[in-house]
Amino acid sequence: TRSTRPQRLLGAVQKNATRGDPGSVIQAIDHYCRNKEWAMNVGDEKGCILDSVVSEVNPATVLELGTYCGYSTVRIARLLPPHAKLITLEFNPAVAAIARQVIAWAGLEDKVQLVEGASGDFIPRIKEQFGVKTFDLVFLDHWKEYYLPDTKLMEECGLLRKGSVLLADNVVCPGAPDYLEYVRSSPRYESRYFKSHLEYTKVEDGLEKSVFLG
C-alpha cells in the first residue's frame, strides 16, 4: 500500500540528514516540503520566530500541543538548556511513531517526552503524572478549534504562572479566531502578533505570542 506523507517525510530525513545533527534534520524536512511535498510543519520562516521566542524565554519546561512529525519539537528541543524538558502531545499513534524516529534521528530523545493522547485528557493529568508544576512556554499547533478550550484548561489546572508564554501557530491561516479574540481581549494576557507566511508559501500567516499575567 502507498506510504503516508509522514512516512515519506521521515524517509527524507533518514536519506538527507546526519544522525545527531538537529540542524540537518530541520533542513532536510524544509527542503523536502518546499520542493517535493508540502506538509504542515511550522517551517523555516515561522521557525525563525519560534527560535527567537524560545531563546528569549530560555524555558526549563515546555509543552507542545500537536507533535505531528516532530519538526517543531526538534526546533525547540535543540535550543533548550541542559535538564530542560519538553513534553509534546500527539493523539495519532501512527504520526507519533514517525515523530519519535525524527526526534531520535536528531539525537534529542533525552530532552523530549512524546505522549500519545489527546490534550483534553492529558492536560489535567500532567502535574501529577509528569511532575511539572507550571510551563514556561507552550507551543500550540494542534487542531485550531482546540487552542481556546485547551488554554482555558491549562489556566484551570494551574499550569500557567505569571510570565508563562503561549506561542500559537496559524492564527491567520487556517486561523484560530476565538483563541485570538480571547488572548487579545483578556486582561490576563499581553498579546503580540508576529506576521509571517504559511509554511513554504506566500500566503499570510503568523504566530501570536501571549504572556500570561497571572
Active site residues: 141, 144, 169-170, 199
**What is the spatial distance between Cα 25 and Cα 176, in angstroms, rounded to a whole number?**
29
> How big is the chain by its Cα radius of gyration, in Å?
16
Q: Which of 49, 198, 207, 211 binds ligand CL4 (CB under 6 A)?
A: 198
Residue ranges in 59-78 that form contacts with ligand CL4 under rule CB under 6 A: 66, 68
State yes or no: residue 90 binds ligand CL4 (CB under 6 A): yes
Q: Which is nearer to Mg ion, 65 or 106 (CB)?
A: 65
- Nearest approach in angstroms of CB 137 to ligand CL4 is 17
Q: Helix or strand or coil: residue 83?
A: coil
Omega prior to 174 cis, within 30 of 0: yes
**Binding partner of residue 111 among ligand CL4, Mg ion, none, CB cut-off 5 to 8 Å per kind:** none
φ, ψ dihedrals at 42, nearest 5° = -60, -30
Residue ranges in 120-179 that form contacts with Mg ion under rule CB under 5 A: 141, 169-170
State yes or no: residue 210 binds ligand CL4 (CB under 6 A): no
Q: Where does this chain touch ligand CL4 (CB under 6 A) — which range of 7-15, 20-28, 90-98, 126-134? A: 90-98
**Binding partner of residue 198 among Mg ion, ligand CL4, none, CB cut-off 5 to 8 Å per kind:** ligand CL4
**Binding partner of residue 118 among ligand CL4, Mg ion, none, CB cut-off 5 to 8 Å per kind:** ligand CL4
Q: Which residues contact 166 (CB under 8 A, 6 or more apart)?
A: 138, 140, 151, 160, 183, 189, 208, 209, 210, 211, 212
**What is the spatial distance between Cα 175 and Cα 205, in angstroms, rounded to a whole number?**
8
